[in-house]
A and B are shown apart, each in its own frame.
Chain A
């Protein structure tokens, strides 16, 4: 068992017994394999349900929205970054929250495991010496853990939460990726980039799973749901899918914490994480802002600097 599990249960038990919180948010083994379900513990006798392994990809911060209870949340680096942004945007009350930081080793990508076992049903899964070992039928599949991680985890710059009330130890977190790795974005020509985006948009079935798992997509009325006027039609078609993906990316510009939850939740494998990465880079380079890092820094689109770059402005010589 992961050495964190006993610590998580112990911490949850203590916080509930001491009456510091009414609810503990963690993970439990879900009804389907390769992904844990969110676990809501209200009573200290139930803490044995809590677990922790390499399938805690869901961002638990999504459950904090408009929740009036006093909550303890087990937060990975990305959950903690999302909490920082939600606090900044005044979506949650700090006093009602106990953030228990969990050093994160990186979460395993379900889609990669499914590709590894070539579509078979995974019956057993374990980690032995930095290798994922999956048993399916009579076969055994082995691959390095590193290659099975989600993209967001591979490129995570802060796997250990920087913002927390308590921090669990006993396990070494993943080494943070260098910021430089993030700057290396695929360069290609415009037509190629459009083909790539069109192909991603064509897959979308507009189930809004990405929106539902995102802790920062908390609008009561999403622009994709507005009907007067109907900016984005509800039917899945290439143009409106593109609109939806672009608007979601823009609305998360400077806010996305790159937790990878939306990519993981997508049932048809739409991967538009590269759009979020581009916006992250623009926000960092243009406005000197890193999403989820500093609780005291103002959100970049709620403020301005007179010296903001103007390289994109159409200028004309006027006579």
Chain B
């Protein structure tokens, strides 16, 4: 927890950039924050069940969907993610009872704000996947990947590192 954990998340975000792709071979890169108790287990079930889904998603496991600070999402969009997905337990099923319900309010506002500034809101997705929903997880990744693919490579918010002095 604390600073170390945030640093690890930042490192994961920065690693997204490692392979710069040119338009002909472009594949969407999607960062998924999955809660430890439901969605991560749902992703695991999809894998164990040999369900096929697009390989465009890179998973970060978080203790709860409420752990996801909007700054993680914006930092990812700034540094090479074409899309971001946050998934947690279904409302009512949160391991911490109400983490996802508190997170739901926060995400509703983030999405409204991104809409207000004219950001392509289809790059940012919030969903609920339980530990038993391997099929739903695979379907969700297909859906999110297709929506992000339709938008093409991210342009808005993206940081061009030669524009200024990086600190």
Tell whether, in the assembled complex, residue A223 and residue B167 are in contact, meaning their CB atoms are under 8 Å apart.
Answer: no
B92, B105, B143: which contacts A308 (Cβ < 8 A)? Answer: B105
Which A residue's beta carbon lies closest to that of B72?
A: A231
Tell whether, in the assembled complex, residue B107 and residue A233 are in contact, meaning their CB atoms are under 8 Å apart.
Answer: no
Tell whether, in the assembled complex, residue A308 and residue B164 are in contact, meaning their CB atoms are under 8 Å apart.
Answer: no
- Interface bits A280-314 vs B (CB < 8 Å: 1, else 0): 00110011000000000000111111101110111
Tell whether, in the assembled complex, residue B109 and residue A233 are in contact, meaning their CB atoms are under 8 Å apart.
Answer: no
> A287 contacts which chain B residues (CB < 8 A)?
105
Say yes or no: is B68 at the interface (Cβ < 8 Å to chain A).
no
Tell whether, in the assembled complex, residue A313 and residue B109 are in contact, meaning their CB atoms are under 8 Å apart.
Answer: no
- Interface bits B43-77 vs A (CB < 8 Å: 1, else 0): 00000000000000000000000000011001100
Tell whether, in the assembled complex, residue B3 and residue A228 are in contact, meaning their CB atoms are under 8 Å apart.
Answer: yes
> A302 contacts which chain B residues (CB < 8 A)?
102
Chain A contact-residue range equals 35 or more
Say yes or no: is A55 at the interface (Cβ < 8 Å to chain B).
no
Tell whether, in the assembled complex, residue B74 and residue A247 are in contact, meaning their CB atoms are under 8 Å apart.
Answer: yes
Tell whether, in the assembled complex, residue B75 and residue A231 are in contact, meaning their CB atoms are under 8 Å apart.
Answer: yes
How far is the CB of B88 from the nearest CB of chain A, in Å? 11
Tell whether, in the assembled complex, residue A314 and residue B157 are in contact, meaning their CB atoms are under 8 Å apart.
Answer: no
Say yes or no: is A129 at the interface (Cβ < 8 Å to chain B).
no
> A283 contacts which chain B residues (CB < 8 A)?
109
How far is the CB of B127 from the nearest CB of chain A, in Å? 5
A192, A250, A282, A304: which contacts B118 (Cβ < 8 A)? Answer: A192
- Given the interface pairs A229-B6, A304-B98, the reply to whether A243 lies near B75 with Cβ below 8 Å is yes
Interface of B with A (CB < 8 Å)?
Answer: 3, 6-7, 9-10, 70-71, 74-75, 78, 85, 91-92, 98, 101-102, 104-114, 116-120, 125-128, 133, 135-136, 139-140, 142-144, 156-160, 163-167
Q: Which 10 residue pairs across A and B have the least CB separation, nearest first? A: A193-B118, A194-B118, A318-B136, A229-B10, A237-B164, A239-B159, A304-B101, A197-B117, A278-B116, A314-B125
Interface of A with B (CB < 8 Å)?
Answer: 189-197, 223, 228-240, 242-243, 246-247, 249-250, 253-254, 274-275, 278-279, 282-283, 286-287, 300-306, 308-310, 312-319
